[in-house]
């Protein structure tokens, strides 16, 4: 066995030019981070801290301006089906039915039709969407759309699941239900998950590790291991201990940010 980490960010920088303000924005500054296979990592931080940029670099949608992002020791070069992305806006193809959306990935990869059917059936059962297969995305509720979005990446059996604030647009009850589902799916599949959120509770509920980031420029602030047994009880004392710690970290961050903004 090599000691090579499953995923690693090596001194990653990301700058981009803000055309309107006419200045260079440092979205990510010198981030180094390793993730083990099967780990559930959540990333929290104020908006503009670059957490989605980190996810986009893992997905291959964006390239680092400096440093390297590696998956199993290989440089990430563009998007691929080995890294499934779940977007906040679902991003299902509106012209395909739920079933066709799930079948899309295997079909694009040239999986034989009978196997596509089998994989799709199994995945739809896993996310509990059996019976809605012939509906189009706009005919589904937000919760069902996000399940479908999860199904269409799970069906590809990706090495890692990248989830970009997947439940931010859902109502509280649906969100809680989907959080439980994701926790269950993770226990079943033991996929590596990189999960971006701005909810501390969500981060503590789901993760093995919570990465907290600061904004302007985006840097790592804390890397907290959550060693609570699953399923987790958000009302328990240890849960709230973690939650308080992280919330304090973030509040400091937001206050500092506000002061910086006020002094400009």
Partner 1 sequence: MTQSSLSEPVPITAAGTNIKRLDDGAPSRIGRLARRVALPAAILIAWEFVTAAGLVSSASLPSPLTVAIAWWEWIFGPRQALAWYSGTWAAYVLMSLERVAAGFAIASVTGIALGVLIGWYRAVEDFCDGTINFLRAVPMTAWVPFAVFIFGIHESAAIFLIAFGSFFPIVVNAAAGARQTPRILIRAARMLGTPPRKLLLRVVLPAALPAIFTGLRVGLGLAWVLVIVAEMLAVQGGLGYALWSAYQFSRLDLILAAIASVGGLGLASDRLISLLAHRVLRWQHGSTGQ
84 binds partner 1 (CB under 8 A): yes
SS3 per residue for 64-117: CCEEEEEECCEECCCCCCCEEEECCCCCCCCCCCHHHHHHHHHHHCCCCHHHHH
**What are the CA-CA distances from residue 160 to residues 6, 45, 63, 105, 234 (Å)?**
10, 21, 18, 15, 26
Q: How far is the CB of 88 from partner 1 (least distance, A)?
A: 9
Is residue 166 a contact residue for partner 1 (CB under 8 A)?
no
* Between 87 and 186, CB nearer to partner 1: 87
> Should residue 76 be labelled a site residue for partner 1 when binding is judged by CB under 8 A?
no
Choose the binding region for partner 1 from 4-12, 94-102, 183-191, 233-241 (rule: CB under 8 A).
Answer: 94-102
Q: Is 55 in the site for partner 1 (CB under 8 A)?
A: no
Instruction: Count Cβ atoms within 10 A of the Cβ of residue 112 and give its class: 0-12 exposed, 13-18 middle, 19 or more buried.
Output: exposed
Nearer to partner 1, 95 or 262 (CB): 95
> Per-residue DSSP letters for 201-237?
HHHHHH-SEEEEEETTTTEEEEEEE----SS--TTSH
| 95 contacts partner 1 (rule: CB under 8 A) | yes
- Does residue 81 bind partner 1 (CB under 8 A)? yes
State the minimum distance, in angstroms, from the CB of residue 260 to partner 1. 31
Q: At what angle do helices 113-126 and 98-108 cross, to 10 degrees?
A: 130
Instruction: Note whether 109 binds partner 1 by CB under 8 A.
Output: yes
Which range binds partner 1 by CB under 8 A, 42-50, 112-120, 128-136, 187-195?
Answer: 128-136
The residue ranges that bind partner 1 (CB under 8 A) are 59-61, 78-81, 83-85, 87, 89, 91-97, 104-105, 108-109, 134-139, 152-153, 156
């Amino acid at each position: 066995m090599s000691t090579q980490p499953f995923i690693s960010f090596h001194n990653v920088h990301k700058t981009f030019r803000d055309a309107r303000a006419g200045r260079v924005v440092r979205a990510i500054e010198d981030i180094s981070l390793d993730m083990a296979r099967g780990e559930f990592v959540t990333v929290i931080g104020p908006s503009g801290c670059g957490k989605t940029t980190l996810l986009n670099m893992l997905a291959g949608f964006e390239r680092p301006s400096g440093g390297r992002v590696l998956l199993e020791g290989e440089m990430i070069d563009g998007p691929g089906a080995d890294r499934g992305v779940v977007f906040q806006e679902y991003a299902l193809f509106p012209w395909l039915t739920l079933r066709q959306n799930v079948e899309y990935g295997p079909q694009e990869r040239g999986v034989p039709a009978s196997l596509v059917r089998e994989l799709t059936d199994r995945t739809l059962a896993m996310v509990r969407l059996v019976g809605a297969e012939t509906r189009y995305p706009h005919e589904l509720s937000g919760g069902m759309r996000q399940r479908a979005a999860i199904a269409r990446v799970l069906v590809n059996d990706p090495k890692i699941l990248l989830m970009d604030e997947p439940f931010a647009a859902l109502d509280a009850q649906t969100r809680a239900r989907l959080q439980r589902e994701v926790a269950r799916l993770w226990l079943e599949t033991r996929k590596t998950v990189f999960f971006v959120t701005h909810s501390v509770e969500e981060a503590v509920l789901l993760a093995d590790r919570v990465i907290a980031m600061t904004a302007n420029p985006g840097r790592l602030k804390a890397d907290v291991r959550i060693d609570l047994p699953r399923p987790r009880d958000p009302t328990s004392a240890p849960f709230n201990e973690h939650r308080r710690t992280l919330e304090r970290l973030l509040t400091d961050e937001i206050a500092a940010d506000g002061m910086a903004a006020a002094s400009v």
